[in-house]
Amino acid sequence: METVGRMAGVSQVTVSRALSDPSKVSPETLSRIQEAIAATGFVPNALAGALASKKSMLISALVPSITNIVYSGMLATFSAELRARGYQILLSETGFDREDEAATVEAHLSRRPDAMLLTGVHHADRTRRMLLGAGVPVVEVWDITDTPIDLCVGFSHPEAGRAMADYARARGYRRAAFITAGDERALRRGAAFAGRFAQAGGEGPVPIRGDAPASLAGGRALTAALLDEGFAASDGALIAASSDVLAQGALIELAARGLAVPGRVAVMGFGDQEMAAALSPTLTTVRVNRDALGRAAAQALLTRIGGTAPERQVIDVGFALVERQSA
């Protein structure tokens, strides 16, 4: 700042004032200071400013995967809402291991973010203790619970699974299997699907679990295992998947074996990714409004940061079943 001040012909105090509150210096002075900053490549020390103001203007966002459009789509709206208010996002990928998430939470809290977004509502005990001790606003997304750390914005995964089962039975499918990745939320959807489908008189709705994250290869492998066991020996079978990616893998395997969809085996996905409507056949799936979820999470945090309690601690954005050709 001293160098910038010399170049602009002003004191270091004036440079500091221009950076913290530009309205306190004249437009002409501000212009000279900005030219000097551009010439030197100076970047203000945000840590020093945060110590003085007790605000870092950083919001931490922790998601299991930064490449999964389910999360990246939600984060795009979340980030846009917060950037419009002067905040920047500090983003980390945690995977699905709770201890890995706890270590990431600890690292982020050491940077003193003004708030934090977490994915899901099930965390390691020490994660909850750290966040309650830090006293920063927290929003948990992509799930709901009656006992959030602070705020949560999402939908009921068991209800989504039951809605998929209700649709399958209403369409007359007699046998069903639910192929799923190993993450906890997907497993809850699968268990709820299985329970509801059996309750409605359906056959064989056993969740078939893969240990790896959702992938096309995983969808093909799980579907192949089902078919090798005689799952599609006759018409009236349905494969429900915990994600559109697994469902796409199922469609590829069925096509490779010459089995008509939905004539021989129907397929349902989850997430309504962009490719779902472009597949052949187009994919029946469950849509969650990612834009609405991200916007609601950002607005809830901004309200909390502003010192006001949001109208609701728990915001359920719901979901919608999208019927297409595959089922």
> 306: domain range?
56-155+290-318
Q: Note the pLDDT tens digit of each residue in 236-295.
A: 899 999 999 999 999 999 999 999 999 999 999 999 999 999 999 999 999 999 999 999
Give a yes or no: residue 265 inside a domain: yes
Rounded distance between C-alpha atoms, residue 133 and residue 231, angstroms = 51
pLDDT digits over 222-252, tens only?
999 999 989 988 888 999 999 999 999 999 9
- Are 264 and 183 within one domain? yes
- On whether both 91 and 185 belong to a single domain, the answer is no
Cα–Cα distances (Å) from 127 to 63, 96, 124, 220, 284, in that order, read 14, 14, 5, 36, 37
Whether residue 261 sits in one domain with residue 192: yes
Pairing type for strands 285-287 and 320-322 reads antiparallel
Torsion of CA 139, 145, 149, 152, to 10 degrees: 10
Domain assignment of residue 323, yes or no: no
Percent of the chain scored above 90 by pLDDT? 71
pLDDT for 2 equals 85
pLDDT band at 68 (very low <50, low <70, confident <90, very high): confident
Do 67 and 101 lie in one domain? The reply is yes
**Counted domains in the chain:** 3
Q: Do 281 and 176 belong together in one domain? A: yes
Contact between residue 212 and residue 224 where contact means Cβ atoms under 8 Å apart: no
pTM: 0.81
Q: Are residues 65 and 181 in the same domain?
A: no
pLDDT tens, 97-146?
999 999 999 999 998 999 999 999 999 999 999 999 998 999 999 999 99
